[in-house]
Amino acid sequence: MLTNTAAEKPWVLIKVARSIVPPLGIAGILFSLVALFGYLTSYEVLYRPFTNGPATNPLTAICILLLGMSLCLKKRYAKPLQLSFAGLVILITLLRIADIVTHSGLTAYISPFYDRVLMDIEQGQSNSMGLNTAVMFFFIALSQLLFSTRQLALSQFVASISVVIPTISLTGYAYNLTGFYGQMSMLTTVAGGALALAMLCLTAHYGGLRAILSPYLGGKIARKQTIAGYLVPTVLGFMVAQSLSANEADEFGIFVVVMCWFIIIMVSVSAIYQERIDSKRRAGERLLAQAALNDPLTNLPNRRMFNDFAQAELARAKGRAGTFWLLILDIDHFKNINDTAGHDMGDEVLIALGQRLKESVRDLDLVCRMGGEEFSIILSGNSRQEAQQVAERIRHSIEQLEVKGWTDLHGPITTSIGGATNTPQNTIEDMVKVADSALYQAKQQGRNRVIFA
């Protein structure tokens, strides 16, 4: 039944963001399998896309595989497996970080295809999980762990840190700044970027990201600001970096990345506040719309809502040459209830009767309080016989209605009902007039009856 015109807009972008998580996870799995297949078959280009450039280390490929799988898991078994996969990646990356700091070579014991890695290193080729790669996967896994334990704010915060690392690496590849990507291969950069983005998208329904993806004005502005805040400094930075020496370009590159993320963080914070204020405004607007279309006593749609609904129903019926029925129902001798038991008892009767009417029809039918003790019911797509049966059933059901303080002392409440249907020519006003005159006849003939025009 139509009850609310100020409905929330669909949050399409959040749905899209959440729907791309499994495909990004699958992309990660494929990247890792390609790299591992490269090691298995000694087909170097699969794990080292650029000759003499950085390689995707086998341990890195395992981290990508575990994180990719954890993002693709279905709900039922997801939590324990996600926790285990994320935990494993955290362990591997922490070992690797300890390895880099202490030069202990611990990861050699757990790395698959280690002889191949050694061979590459002996030939002077880069092949190890660099500090930036280890930190990136550590943060992605930590974000997954926090998400699985419902720490959404922290999970989103950690995911945004993890997105920064592949962004720096990508900027390095774009600006040709080796220090920016170090030992992180293009394949690892893309796979890490996809997984970090997927982690961020998992929390799209929450916090800053939710505000940026909002379908309302605040979200629209925030999205444009985010894109401009990232693209403008990056493109301008790229042009300036071309004219700088290697050392200057490195420092300038860091400045550009910091600027981009500073702008994005500022935009997210202001979007959160904007969305908070706007959601209160929307709630107020919904309440106003509700009040304008509903009767406050019975909480049923009022005459205005009746007109909107009836016009739409008439247009629909004309479109498919169908019929619908209008019943106008009036409580018999209602004044007597007010006069005998007081206005409050009259109100109670109106509320109970409204509730009974709502329960007596289907969800697609509409029950309205037209005013005073008069109600209307729109029955969609019934034959005359069916509509008469419904009207009789309603009349009978109201006779059975019990309202403490009235029916137990003064007997049943009865109603008179007039019915009318649409014709190709008539308007809603015509239908109301016809149903009203049928109701008048029912009153004339002694009340407590149904008369159809």
Ligand X SMILES: Nc1nc2c(ncn2[C@@H]2O[C@H](COP(=O)(O)OP(=O)(O)OP(=O)(O)O)[C@@H](O)[C@H]2O)c(=O)[nH]1
Residue with CB nearest ligand X? 346
In the region spanning residues 297 to 316, those forming contacts with ligand X, defined by CB under 6 A, are 297
Q: Is 347 in the site for ligand X (CB under 6 A)?
A: yes
Q: Is 405 in the site for ligand X (CB under 6 A)?
A: no
> From the list 184, 211, 350, 401, which residue makes contact with ligand X (rule: CB under 6 A)?
350
End-to-end CA distance of the chain: 26
Which part of the chain contacts ligand X (CB under 6 A), choosing from 185-193, 239-247, 315-323, 338-346?
A: 338-346
User: Looking at residue 294, what DSSP letter applies?
Assistant: B
- Rounded to whole angstroms, the Cα distance separating 338 from 259 reads 72
Q: Is 335 in the site for ligand X (CB under 6 A)?
A: yes
The bridge status of strand 415-421 relative to strand 450-452 is parallel
Cβ 167 vs Cβ 192: under 8 Å: no
Q: Is 338 in the site for ligand X (CB under 6 A)?
A: yes
Which part of the chain contacts ligand X (CB under 6 A), choosing from 54-62, 69-77, 189-197, 346-354?
A: 346-354
Beta bridge partners of 419: 327, 452
Beta bridge partners of 451: 418
> From the list 346, 354, 418, 419, which residue makes contact with ligand X (rule: CB under 6 A)?
346
Min separation Cβ 383 and ligand X, Å: 29
Which part of the chain contacts ligand X (CB under 6 A), choosing from 44-52, 136-144, 325-333, 389-397?
A: 325-333
Q: Is 404 in the site for ligand X (CB under 6 A)?
A: no
> From the list 311, 372, 402, 444, which residue makes contact with ligand X (rule: CB under 6 A)?
372
Identity of residue 345: M
Cβ atoms within 10 Å of 129's Cβ, excluding its own? 30
Q: Is 197 in the site for ligand X (CB under 6 A)?
A: no
- Residue 442: HSE in the Cβ half-sphere, 13 Å Cα cutoff: 28
Q: Is 295 in the site for ligand X (CB under 6 A)?
A: no
Alpha helices per DSSP H over 294-372: 303-319, 334-341, 343-360
- Rounded to whole angstroms, the Cα distance separating 43 from 64 reads 19
Which part of the chain contacts ligand X (CB under 6 A), choosing from 137-145, 147-155, 211-219, 330-338?
A: 330-338
Q: Is 253 in the site for ligand X (CB under 6 A)?
A: no
Q: Is 334 in the site for ligand X (CB under 6 A)?
A: yes
> From the list 199, 331, 370, 420, which residue makes contact with ligand X (rule: CB under 6 A)?
331
Residue linked to tokens 């309302």:
216
Closest CA to 348 of 291, 437, 430, 408: 408
At 168, which helix (H) or strand (E)?
Answer: helix 152-175
Contacting positions for ligand X (CB under 6 A): 297, 330-335, 338, 343, 346-347, 350, 372-373, 443, 447
